[in-house]
Amino acid sequence: MAENENLEQRPEAGLTGLSKAESESAPITEQVASGFFKQLQGFWVTFMTMFKKVNTVEYPFKKEPTAERFHGRHQLNRHPDGLEKCIGCELCAWACPADAIYVEGGTNTPEAQYSPGERYGKVYQINYLRCIFCGLCIEACPTRALTMTNEFELADNGRAKLIFEKEDLLAPLRQGMLAAPHPMYPGSTDTTYYRGEVPGSHPSQETSSNA
């Protein structure tokens, strides 16, 4: 909604700018004469700015949090029980304008269930030498598997090190999560997973995954 408001305001702003320019089209000499005290005002501005707080962030020594929705490193999210959300559909890879994402889908089997439903992302790579952090992949993702974190310190000293594999991107295991593969929550389908009706890991999931 905020974007729309901005769009509506833009033509207005342009108009005021134009009329301002027209009113100031007087010969230069007159402006200089009448602007003499304005010039002095400028000196006051720079002088007072000296005592203002500086904008500089002394970055490596003092780290400030980024903006809330800063586009940082990607993350592959998990369902509450630890199954991966990624279904290997490659929509992110297709959406990527920089061709930075490589996905290879795989088929879930009863023995090795990585994500709810039939398919999961077998190989998932993001090349951070190509990624432009535009976020189109996040918009493309149908299961909310791919999101971005605020982490921005991605520099490294080798090309290979900047191609992040699936295990680099997967979200850490939280309370109640079990690392895939393990069977789906008893009595649930991929739809219940998608709707977020799975509360957490079920005791049966643990035993069967360990078995």
Partner 1 sequence: MNIGQLLGMDPGWISVVKGVLVFVICVLLTLFAIWAERRIVARMQMRVGPNRVGKFGLLQSLADGVKLALKEDIIPKAADRIVFVIAPVISATTCFMSFAVMPMTGKVSLFGHKTALQLTDIPVGVLYVLAIASVGVYGIVLAGWSSGSTYPLLGGLRSSAQVISYEVAMGLSLVAVFMYAGSMSTQDIIAAQAHGWYAVILFPSFVIYTIAMVGETNRAPFDLAEAEGELVGGFHTEYSSLKFALFFLAEYVNIMGVSALATTLFLGGYHALPGLGFTENWLGGWFTLVWFLAKVLTFFFVFIWLRGTLPRMRYDQFMKFGWKVLIPTSLVWIMVGSTFHLLKIHNASRIAIVGFGLGVFLLIMGALTITELSAKRAKARQAEGAENELPPPTFPVPSITRSEFING
Give the three-state DSSP class for 123.
strand
Measured distance CA(112)–CA(64) in Å, rounded: 42
Min separation Cβ 51 and partner 1, Å: 8
Strand, coil or helix: what is 40? helix
Nearer to partner 1, 28 or 160 (CB): 28
Closest separation in Å from C-beta 67 to partner 1: 19
The residues that touch partner 1, with contacts defined as CB under 8 A, are 25, 27-29, 31-32, 39, 42-43, 45-47, 49-50, 52-56, 58
Question: What are the Cα distances from residue 145, in Å, to 9, 62, 68, 127?
Answer: 36, 32, 19, 18
- Comparison of 14 and 27: residue with beta carbon closer to partner 1: 27
Least distance (Å) between residue 21 CB and partner 1: 13
Residue with tokens 């027209």: 22
Q: Considering the complex, what minimum distance in angstroms separates the CB of residue 134 from partner 1? A: 30
Nearer to partner 1, 49 or 157 (CB): 49
Least distance CB 28 / partner 1 (angstroms): 3
| Nearest CB to partner 1, comparing residues 51 and 203 | 51
CB of 31 to partner 1, least distance (A): 8
Select 49 or 210, whichever has its Cβ closest to partner 1: 49
Which residue lies nearer to partner 1 by CB, 20 or 52?
52
What does R_g of the chain's alpha carbons equal in angstroms? 27
**In whole angstroms, how far apart are CA 51 and each of 36, 43, 45, 56?**
25, 14, 11, 14
Q: What is the DSSP code string of 130-188?
A: T-----HHHHH-SSS-EEE-S------S-TGGGEE-HHHHBPPP-TT--PSS-PPPTT-
| Cα-based angle 71, 78, 82 (whole degrees, multiple of 5) | 155
